[in-house]
Amino acid sequence: MGPLLLLRSAAVLLLALVASGAAAQSTMPPSCRDDAMIVFDASGSMSGTDFNTPPTPRIDKVRQALAKVLPQIAAMRNLGLIDYGPGPSNRCDNIELLLQPAPRSADRIMAALSRLNPAGRTPLTAAVREAARVLRFPEKPGVVVLLTDGEETCGGDPCAMAKALRAEGENLTIHVIGYRMRELATTNGYVQSRCMTDSTGGLYISVETSEQLVEALQKTLGCPAVSDASLGHTGR
């Protein structure tokens, strides 16, 4: 093979490597780059202890799980926090934006969660819609992770809301982590939660233990490479 042919072969190989690298980069899931909002259920049911010993409120178990996963995840993406529930039990406007999406926000999220006292109702439809607004959807892509132990109790329609958001754009993904929902949610609650995720390309993950909750948080908030390395199953 002559020098000219060698040079041409090397150039072709180099172009192929560059093209394959660009293609791989363009097909990487965007989830690690997208801002994410955690929608946190702080309604009255989160004060339940599930009859465990020693008695530990559900909200504390969820806080403990988040404390394990947030430092790593917050180092890779902007995270924000919305809660619903605290306040008078008959109110349905008890939704509060606790933190706009921000870099390295684990400590701020945990500090905000530590001040929550679970009470009140479950306006999760309005809370998820507000999370999408905070993410500046549809102008920007984003991820919403709803962490709940129950279902809508304020007359909202989670399924219709998710379909309406999808009609506005395809760059919003809603994940739902149902923590011990089988004890509190009706069949309709499950159907509505699954509809939210199915309508937006997200995951619905039902969890019963703290370990499963940690896995679900890694799966929905973490980067795919990190999640796949740390999980033995999808949890769907």
User: CATH number, domain at 39?
Assistant: 3.40.50.410
**pLDDT tens per residue across all 236 residues of the chain:** 555 444 454 444 444 443 444 333 333 344 577 999 999 999 988 988 876 667 889 899 999 999 999 999 999 999 999 999 887 777 888 999 999 999 999 999 999 999 999 998 999 999 999 999 999 999 999 999 999 988 999 999 999 999 999 999 999 999 999 988 776 667 777 888 999 999 999 999 999 888 999 999 999 998 654 334 333 333 33
In a domain, 1, yes or no: no
In a domain, 209, yes or no: yes
In a domain, 148, yes or no: yes
- Helical spans, DSSP H, in the chain: 3-27, 58-74, 106-114, 124-134, 158-168, 187-200, 210-221, 224-230
Q: What is the pLDDT of residue 190?
A: 80
Phi, psi of 184, deg, nearest 5: -125, -30
The model's pTM is: 0.80
In a domain, 4, yes or no: no
Domain containing 127 equals 35-230
The total domain count for the chain is 1
Whole-angstrom distance, CA of residue 226 vs CA of residue 218: 8
Q: What is the pLDDT of residue 115?
A: 94
Q: What is the pLDDT of residue 91?
A: 84
The full length of the chain comes to 236
Q: Both ends of the chain: CA-CA distance in Å?
A: 55
Whole-angstrom distance, CA of residue 200 vs CA of residue 169: 10
Q: What is the pLDDT of residue 53?
A: 64
In a domain, 43, yes or no: yes
- Spatial contact of 189 and 150, defined as CB atoms under 8 Å apart: yes
In a domain, 16, yes or no: no
Q: What is the pLDDT of residue 10?
A: 46
In a domain, 30, yes or no: no
In a domain, 18, yes or no: no
